[in-house]
Amino acid sequence: MRIANLAGRAVLVLGDDGAIDIAGASDNRFGPDPQALFDDWAAFADWASALEGADAAASDSFAIEELGAPVPRPRQVFAIGLNYAEHAAEAGYPPDSMPVTFTKFPSSIVGPGAVVALPDGNVDWEVELVVVIGREAHKLDRESAWDHVAGLTIGQDISERITQMQGSAPQFSLGKSFPGFGPTGPWLVTPDEFADRDDLAISCSLSGEGMQSSRTSMMLYDVPELLVRLSAVCRLLPGDIIFSGTPSGIGNRRTPQRFIGPDDVLVSQIEGIGTLTTRFTAGG
C-alpha cells in the first residue's frame, strides 16, 4: 500500500490520485498525524491492508502539490555517504569498511513539490532510496532487518558543497541541512509492493537532462546491511528515516561542474515508488 501526507493528514493512496483519510476511515484509531502512524505501525498496517481493495472511485482525488513529507517529523535522520562504488570512485574515496554515516537535521525535511530557496554556494543533487523504520530496533540481524521497515520513499540529499567541505574535517551534516534540503515523497510504499525490493531502478534529471541512473542493487551496503550496521550502535525508532546513499552522476564531479540554479527543476524517480519533483528559487 501507499501512504501519503495530504495537507497534514495521513491518507491511503488508491489508484493515480485517490485518497482515503485514515483517521476518518478508522474512527480516529490511526492518524490524522502522518508521523503518529509509526507509533503503532504493525497494527496500522494490519488494519490498512483490509482497505486496499477499496473502490478508488469512492476516494477523494488530490494533486501531488498538496502532499507533504510522508514522514514529516522523524526523530532521527540517518544518511549514508559513498554507498555506490561508482559514486565513491567519482568522489575520490576507496570503498570503506563502515558505511559513512551523517545526519540531515530534521528541519531540512520537506515533501514533494517543494520550492527550495538556494543559499549561496554550490548546491548539488543526490537521488537516494529512503528507508522508513516501522519498528524499534537495536542490534538487528540481516534476516529480520526488512521486518523493521515500514516502507520506502524517494529522497534528494541536496548538498551545498562549499559548506560540506569547509574546515579541516568535512561538515557533511551542516552542508546537507539547509532549509528544504531534504525533499522526500511523494508517498511511502510498503515493502510488499515491490517485485524485488533490493533491486530498484533509481534516477534523476535536472531540467530535463539525465544526471544519475543506477539500480539499488548496486549499493555497497544494502538495506539489511545498513540496518545491521546502524542498529549495532543506535536504537532505530519508529518513524526514523535513512537516506541510503546516491549513485554516480552528481554535479560536483562532472566536467565541467554543474550546480543547481534558480528555475531548475529536479526530477527523481525510483521504480515502484514514482516521481519526486523539486523546484528552486534564488536567495535562501
Query: What is the binding site for Zn ion (CB under 5 A)?
Result: 126, 157, 246
**Rounded to whole angstroms, what are the CA distances from 265 to 176, 246, 254?**
18, 18, 18
DSSP of 169-200:
S--HHHHT-STT-EEEEEEEE-GGG-S-TT--
CB closer to Zn ion out of 38 and 181: 181
> Shortest approach of Zn ion to residue 11 CB, angstroms?
28
**Rounded to whole angstroms, what are the CA distances from 180 to 7, 54, 202?**
17, 35, 21
> Shortest approach of Zn ion to residue 126 CB, angstroms?
4
CB closer to Zn ion out of 32 and 106: 106
Pairing label, strands 127-133, 241-243: antiparallel
CB closer to Zn ion out of 30 and 181: 181
CB closer to Zn ion out of 34 and 126: 126
Q: Side chain identity at 138, as an amino acid letter? A: H
What b/e string do you get for 147-172 counting C-beta neighbours within 10 Å, with b at 16 or more? ebbbbbbbbbbbbbbebbeeeeeebb
Residue closest to Zn ion (Cβ): 157
Here the cell at position 108 is: 531540512
Residue 10 sits at φ, ψ, to 5 deg, of -70, 130
CB closer to Zn ion out of 45 and 79: 79
Cβ(50)–Cβ(16) below 8 Å: no
Whole-number Å distance between alpha carbons of 222 and 212: 19
> Shortest approach of Zn ion to residue 99 CB, angstroms?
11
Residues in the chain: 284
CB closer to Zn ion out of 19 and 222: 222
> Shortest approach of Zn ion to residue 68 CB, angstroms?
22
Cβ(260)–Cβ(118) below 8 Å: yes
Here the cell at position 35 is: 508521523
> Shortest approach of Zn ion to residue 275 CB, angstroms?
19
CB closer to Zn ion out of 38 and 78: 78
> Shortest approach of Zn ion to residue 154 CB, angstroms?
13
> Shortest approach of Zn ion to residue 15 CB, angstroms?
32
DSSP of 7-23:
TTEEEEEETTTEEEEHH
